[in-house]
Chain A
Amino acid sequence: MNWLKKLPLKRKITLVILLTCSAVLLLACGVLAAYQLFDFRRTLVRDSIVLADVIGKNTRAALAFQDENSAQQTLSTLQSEPYVSAACLYDANGNEFANYVQSGSGVQLPAHPPAAGHYFELGHLALFHPIILNGKQIGTIYLQTELKGMYNRLRVSAGVALLVLLGSCLVAVLLAAPLQKPISGPILVLAEAVRNIAQRKDYTVRVPAQDSNETGLLTEAFNQLLAGIEERDKALRGEIAERKGAEGKVQSQLARLELLHSITRAISERLDLQSIFQVVIRTLEDNLPIDLICICLYEQNANVLTVVGLGTSGAALATQLGLSREARVPIDENGLSQCVRGRLVYESDVSGAKFPFPQRLAQAGLRSFVAAPLLVESKVFGALIAARKQTEGFSSGDCEFLKQLSGHVALAAHQAQLYEALQQAYDDLRQTQQAVMQQERLKALGQMASGIAHDINNAISPVALYTESLLEKEPNLSARARDYLGTIQHAIEDVSHTVARMREFYRQREQQLALTPVNLNQMIQQVIDLSRARWSDMPQQRGIFIKIETDLAAALPPVMGVESEIREALVNLIFNAVDAMPNGGTLALRTKISGKPARLAQVEVTDTGIGMDEDVRKRCLEPFFTTKGERGTGLGLAMVYGTVRRHNADIEIESAPGKGTTFRINFPVPAMPAGAPAKDAAPFVVPSRLRILVVDDDPLLIKSLRDTLETDGHVIVTAGGGQEGITAFRHAYERKEPFAAVITDLGMPYVDGRQVASAIKGISPSTPVILLTGWGQRLVAEGDIPAHVNHVLNKPPKLRDLREALAQTLSSTKS
């Protein structure tokens, strides 16, 4: 039934008329049909009875005289009756007497007649009629009449009725169209009006007046209703406008809050000042109609604001204003001074301002500005300045917002500063820790190394002395012997150099380091020699070849530094480079000059090894960071870094996996290159035939010293220990045949070289004491020449050095 509700009014009325007509007609037709059916049946029965009666009368005689043929003949006359499908004659006893069946009808005749009467059966009427003769029933006739005829007639009637119905409906529809107009017309006009109003929301529309019946009343009432609505609508609109205004305010307030929140969140995630300022400026530029925005830091002493952050959108304006990064804005009275005292300053119109800063703004076309102080613990450390081209460009809400924001920014900035300080402290701590660790490690190694160095020096000392002596003094040396001895001398020299370097390398570091001019080119040569075992011998054992390249800037100025530290750092870099080339490659060492005049002296260590990925590159300087597992301590580069920092240098690392690595150390070049004092090779004269006391616990050394010095023409007395030496000296002194000089070993059991020296100086302060030591160089470098010792000589001693020492000490003690 829904569709009926949706039907337009016109159709509905038409439909109602149509339905009514059809219903009435249908009812009439139905009644007619029923009556006709009833009438047909009655007629049929009556006709059948008449027929049966006639046949009965005609067959009476035949029945009476049992003449079946005659009866049969009579019955066969029924052929002229098309609707009689069968007939049957029964005698008085109910036995079949004669029958007739219409050809092709296939009817089954009842064997015995029931009581007289008629019965409507399926498709036919069965009639049993008595045959009376002289008041006595002498038989029964049965007639079966088809109802087909009746139905045919009914069908025709129904067809006619249907035609009538259709015709009526057509007429009804044709008539309904004009007839429904007076009803639907006004309503449709109303409906159209309502639809228009609903669509356009225009309540000023009125529906034209109509006839004065109910629809007229309806129209009038509707118009009145519209008038009412129009009034209400007007009132409502006013109210809505008001509300919208209020809502807009709330909305903008909310937006501010949201903005504040997002900025706060963003800056709380950042820990460096610059990015905090950048975030604040960018977000403000994006979200507020601000023409210029900048953040300045306040320097109380100079009383100026320094611009540290500038918006990009106001960049043109800023340049016009002369406000670039790092620009300094002097604080004028009244305006900015209020701000740096911690108050928010809002100038709604700067066109007539008297103070320089507002005037500057006005010249650039800006009219209003806000300066919000950045306050931490009631101290102003900066200001946030926002300006617009409009006068009255900032509402009280804007000011409040900027004030709040600057509070947050100040807090975040403060935190960033705190964090930076913390980071610094942490870094320092880490470095200290690292240095301590390195020191410990090197201390142990150093101790071991000095022991070894000492023993080696002792062991080769006789060889050195004899060789030198032989070469100098031995007459009649064959050319071959001289050649061999020369080679031995070189070898000894090499050994002593190597040991010396080793010693140097593991030297225990002192707290206060004396910076000396360092020639980096020389240093590189040294380091290559020193690490030869690592880059040449060890790889070669495994069949790997590492090529060494050097490219040294000729005019490299010396840098101020601690030679040993720089050496260690370079050795570490070389070791790492070698480690990075397990399959061989090229190790390049370069020095370069950067800047003119030279500002930086650069040392590069480049390998063609496995390289580092980004992560390793970032972390490799950390102490204990290693990718070498058990083989590495992770301290190598940490130490290098420590050295670099201590020398005010910096380190650059270029690397990519598979592409090799370059470590570059940039040493600052001192303004005044400290020229190393040139060593004067002054000729010296050694007095001959000196009485010399030689003290050493090593018999081999004593023998060699005695032999060589005696060859020089001196008189040598030897002592195998400290105490023995002192005793010998005292005796000689007391016998008035004192020694001209004493040569003593430093490291001896029970009484060492120092004690010997002090004892001798106690007896004869003018007697020069020359200390021979496996640690000699170290002592000299550290300025740790023991008291009472005039000269320190390294083992293995060279005759020449020995002679020089003797000459020097004797001349100095004499004078």
Chain B
Amino acid sequence: MSKRSSIASWFYILLLVVAPMNAPAQSKEYQIKAAFLFNFAQFVNWPSGAFPGTNAPFCIGVLGDDPFSGALDATIQGETIDNHKIIVERSQNVADLKNCQMIFVSKSERKHVAEILSALDSKPILTVSEVDGFAERGGGINFYLAGTKVRFEINPGVAQSDGLKISAQLLSLGKIVQSAKEDK
């Protein structure tokens, strides 16, 4: 073994030890959430008008700060939904993401949830967030943690009014919530 390669291997070992400290449990959580995002796309039917064209890609928008740190990109790598290529677009502005079919509203946009939702109202866009009360407030799906497990709430009324069809299976897995605002 050469001196150089031995130094390299020490480096790797150090990296392995340090990595969990740099990338806390959050990264695992977001890996799962990224997979869930992709899976949502598979259990939800978008109306044909949701895509600008037949060859248009399926776009997942990340609004606000991206918490996935690449996990989302890894998840959708090479995947398609109904023959649509999947792409991820990131923006701080909801208007940039009007062509997306699914928008993940980051925690960073917690304060603007109402504006964002109203901006997207009646558009066939599935909104997903991880902000408490997101679904009640008129969001589509909202992540929450049950212990260590990632679970989600669905507001089927919002989703369906936007012309999306959520599969019964998905509905059976999620916690069903109603829009509090509208009821009031």
Contact = CB atoms under 8 A, between A and B. Distances in A.
Contact of A70 (B39, B80, B172): B172
A133 B172 contact: no
B42 A62 contact: no
A133 B169 contact: no
Contacts of B173: 61-62, 65, 67, 70
B43 interface: yes
A66 B149 CA distance: 9
B167 interface: yes
Interface string A638-654: 00000000000000000
A188 interface: no
A469 to B, nearest CB: 189
Interface in A730-752: none
A65 B150 CA distance: 9
Give the interface SS of chain B, mostly helix, strand, loop or mixed: helix
A8 B108 CA distance: 107
Nearest to A63: B39
B36 interface: yes
A626 interface: no
B150 to A, nearest CB: 8
A62 B39 CA distance: 11
A580 B80 CA distance: 158
A62 B172 CA distance: 9
A70 B169 CA distance: 10
B81 A134 contact: yes
A70 B172 CA distance: 8
A61 B171 CA distance: 10
Nearest to B80: A134
Given A67-B173, A133-B42, A134-B81, A61 B36 contact: no
A671 to B, nearest CB: 173
A58 B169 contact: yes
23 contacts: A58-B169, A61-B39, A61-B43, A61-B167, A61-B169, A61-B170, A61-B172, A62-B169, A64-B42, A64-B43, A65-B36, A65-B39, A65-B170, A65-B173, A66-B32, A66-B149, A67-B173, A70-B172, A70-B173, A133-B42, A134-B42, A134-B80, A134-B81
A706 interface: no
A507 interface: no
Contacts of A388: none
Contacts of B167: 61
Contacts of A65: 36, 39, 170, 173
A798 interface: no
Interface in B25-46: 32, 36, 39, 42-43
Contacts of A133: 42
Contacts of A795: none
Nearest to B172: A70
Interface string B78-122: 011100000000000000000000000000000000000000000
Contacts of B79: 134
A134 B81 CA distance: 8
Contacts of B42: 64, 133-134
Nearest to A69: B173
A54 to B, nearest CB: 13
A120 to B, nearest CB: 32
Interface in B154-184: 167, 169-170, 172-173
Nearest to A135: B80
Contact of B169 (A60, A66, A134): A60
A735 to B, nearest CB: 202
A506 to B, nearest CB: 162
A176 B43 CA distance: 74
Interface in A29-70: 58, 60-62, 64-67, 70
B136 to A, nearest CB: 21
A57 to B, nearest CB: 9
B61 to A, nearest CB: 21
A65 B173 CA distance: 8
Contacts of B43: 61, 64
Nearest to B169: A61
Contacts of B169: 58, 60-62
Contacts of B32: 66
Across the A-B interface, give the 9 residue pairs with the lowest CB-CB distance, nearest first.
A61-B169, A64-B39, A65-B173, A134-B42, A67-B173, A61-B173, A61-B170, A70-B173, A61-B43
Contacts of B170: 61, 65
A61 B43 CA distance: 8
A24 to B, nearest CB: 57
- Counting chain A CB atoms within 10 Å of each CB, the highest count among B32, B42, B80, B169 belongs to B169
A134 B173 CA distance: 18
B149 to A, nearest CB: 8
A60 B170 CA distance: 10
A627 B36 CA distance: 149
Nearest to B81: A134
A64 B149 CA distance: 14
A83 B4 CA distance: 64
A60 B81 CA distance: 16
Nearest to B43: A61
Interface in A58-96: 58, 60-62, 64-67, 70
Given A58-B169, A70-B172, 18 more contacts: A60-B169, A61-B39, A61-B169, A61-B172, A61-B173, A62-B169, A62-B173, A64-B43, A65-B36, A65-B39, A65-B170, A65-B173, A66-B32, A67-B173, A70-B173, A133-B42, A134-B79, A134-B81
Contacts of A67: 173
Contacts of A66: 32, 149
Contacts of B81: 134
Nearest to A70: B173
A66 B169 CA distance: 13
Contacts of A58: 169
A61 B42 CA distance: 9
Nearest to A57: B169
B21 to A, nearest CB: 26
Nearest to B168: A61
A686 to B, nearest CB: 196
